[in-house]
Each structure stands twice: as structure tokens, then as C-alpha cells.
């Protein structure tokens, strides 16, 4: 769903966060969101999931709390090889190490 070339373009496999900017960040580009119908995990339109906002806030709070206290590092020797299916996951799993930050 989130990796359809017909929806996202020929470069859908590339990690390019700037694709959602109206111009480069150096030029003061602004975020340009996509249609909610393109990625319908929470549905879109008048029947939008009522928990969508709560889910996003909760996800961001947890991520911020963890990343504030730890650095996430890919384990030594780990080969990062994505497996493309309906949902993205790593072909051999993804082993990471959480290293406590000195200060937070």
C-alpha cells in the first residue's frame, strides 16, 4: 500500500524526506502533505478513524521519550536488507542496540 510506484512515483524506494517539502529546507521549504486517501491506514474523509490523532500523539510521545534517553544503533555486523511486502520489514530482522545517552 505505501510502496506502490503508481501512487508514489519511480523513486518510491529511495529515502528522500525532502520529497514532502515545497522547496529545499535551505530555501525555507514547507511541508507539503499528501492526500489522506493515498495512505489509508486510518481511512480518510468523513469516516476517518476517531483514534488517528490520539495514535499519532502517542506514537510521537513514546518515540521522543525513548530517543531522548537512548541512541539507537544498528548492531555491528547486521546486514540491513528490506523485504518488500504489504508491510515493510527486514529480510533478516533488524538487530539494534540502545545506548544510553550521557545527558538528556
Query: Cell match 530517543: residue?
Result: 67
- pLDDT reported for residue 9: 80
Q: Is the pLDDT of residue 94 over 80?
A: yes
Q: Is the pLDDT of residue 60 over 90?
A: yes
14-40 residue pLDDT tens = 887 777 777 665 666 777 777 777 767
Q: Is the pLDDT of residue 67 over 90?
A: yes
Is the CB of residue 1 less than 8 Å from the CB of residue 40? yes
| DSSP state letter for 31 | B
Please, what is the average pLDDT of the chain? Answer: 82
- pLDDT reported for residue 3: 73
Q: Is the pLDDT of residue 49 over 80?
A: yes
- pLDDT reported for residue 25: 56
- pLDDT reported for residue 34: 74
Give the mean model confidence (pLDDT) for residues 28-56.
Answer: 80
Nearest-Å Rg of the Cα atoms of the chain is 17
Amino acid at each position: 500500500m505505501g510502496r506502490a510506484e503508481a501512487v508514489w512515483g519511480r523513486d518510491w524506494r529511495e529515502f528522500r524526506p525532502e520529497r514532502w517539502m515545497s522547496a529545499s529546507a535551505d530555501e525555507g521549504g514547507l511541508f507539503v502533505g499528501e492526500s489522506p486517501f493515498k495512505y489509508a491506514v486510518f481511512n480518510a474523509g468523513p469516516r476517518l478513524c476517531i483514534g488517528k490523532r490520539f495514535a499519532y500523539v502517542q506514537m510521537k510521545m513514546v518515540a521522543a521519550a525513548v530517543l531522548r534517553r537512548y541512541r539507537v544503533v544498528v548492531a555491528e555486523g547486521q546486514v540491513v536488507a528490506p523485504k518488500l511486502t504489504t508491510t515493510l520489514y527486514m529480510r533478516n530482522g533488524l538487530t539494534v542496540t540502545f545506548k544510553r545517552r550521557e545527558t538528556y
